[in-house]
Amino acid sequence: MTRRFDTNARDFADTFAAFLNEPRGNDDALTSVVADIIADVRKEGGAAVARYSAEFDRLTLDPMLLTSDNVDLHRLAAACPDDLKAAIDFAHDRIAAYAQKQIPEDKSWTDEAGVELGWRWTAVESVGVYVPGGRASYPSSVLMNTVPAKIAGVSRIVMVAPAPGGELAPAVAYAAIRTGVDEYYPIGGAQAVAALAYGAGRLKPVDKIVGPGNAYVAEAKRQVFGKVGIDTIAGPSEILVVADKTANPEWVAADLLSQAEHDPSSQSILIALDETIADQVSEAVEKQLGTLETGKRARTSWEAHGAIILASSTAEAADLSDQIAPEHVELCVADPDAMVPHLNHAGAVFLGHHTPEALGDYVTGSNHVLPTSRAARFSSGLGVYDFLKRMSVQRVGEGSFGALGDAAKRLGVAEGLPAHVNAIAIRAGVDGDDTDAKDG
């Protein structure tokens, strides 16, 4: 039985805070294991990647090419059913249309001092896209990570996706070809992240790594950050559903389980504005768990990490949601638009009874790579912006130099940086020695 909280309970604040701080799937032992794998790849390159692929994925790779005769992207893509290809095409076009709207504009202006200022956007040159394998195939992950990169203008996209025993889902292969992946290597785990960051065999290093993976992948991304950019350290999936008496309890239960089935460490939370809907959803969850093929995994998630919270108002529900800062928020209430202005921390918000999170995973067009583990407090979902860099641009003319130089000199003196002062004074025809700047 999953836990219940009532905001009117005297100890609610303390028990709710303890609930939010419970760990989900973290393992400190991973740190040293991943560090060893990364060190091996840096030292041995493709030989280490091939060795780990044989050990973990039962796949023999050419250490230089990092390819396998058993994994051919075009051959696999040909086996993808036509109706699934059509669905992938449909999702691709919607994601591309959404991403196209995100492209920012360059900006320039001249201020009151006559200084020209502005910025321009340029694309990251090369990106590595990690696509999970193992429990399930995720063509949607290929689309969500690759399409925005293409729209942004990334010139080289490298996909890695483990192919255990030489198996890769045809849908993943088709999605890779549909999105224009430039290189594909059938590797996964921490060794794949290390290869993307440092290079291995013919795989040259990339500038940024994006895409979700298991705990080893997340830890590897954490450890290579700085050498390369990363999108986020992804944790287990999360959903929060706010429901009032207008909600359909069967629908709400289905939505909660749509995230619980991802992983035993996933988290599904219901904030109920009516005790009757809380009871009905709880009963519906139990009934649906008995019919799902993923029921065992979903039940573990629901009972270990799920919760039902009774709240007295939509304002209170919005406040609780912000404290949770979840990956997904569904507003299954009579007036979802009234709640939106009160939400500040969420990866993605789904409005109304006919907007299940599952649509967002695939075809609304919005990206499904979202902040987890309360990271929505300070970060956003993946988008075109993640594949762009902003460069500031400025020009100071002879006339406007005088308006800036004196203040800049004084700041250089205050910071004890005489070369800074001199770089300004020399242009003004003033000896920098009279500024009394001292070496720091």
Catalytic residues: 327-328
The DSSP annotation for 46-68 comes to HHHHHHHHHHHH-----TTT---
Give the residues across from 228 on adjacent strands. 225
CA geometry: angle at 123 spanning 198 and 89, to 5°? 95
3-state secondary structure at position 158:
strand
Q: Which helix (H) or strand (E) holds 421?
A: helix 418-425
CA distance 339 to 217: 36
Q: Which helix (H) or strand (E) holds 13?
A: helix 12-20
CA distance 356 to 314: 19
Contact between 146 and 181 (Cβ < 8 Å): yes
3-state secondary structure at position 241:
strand
Token duo for residue 79: 């086996």
Q: How distant, in Å, are the alpha carbons of 122, 262, 293, 298, 357 from that of 290?
A: 51, 16, 8, 10, 22
Dihedral (CA of 400, 406, 410, 415) sign: positive
CA distance 265 to 306: 10
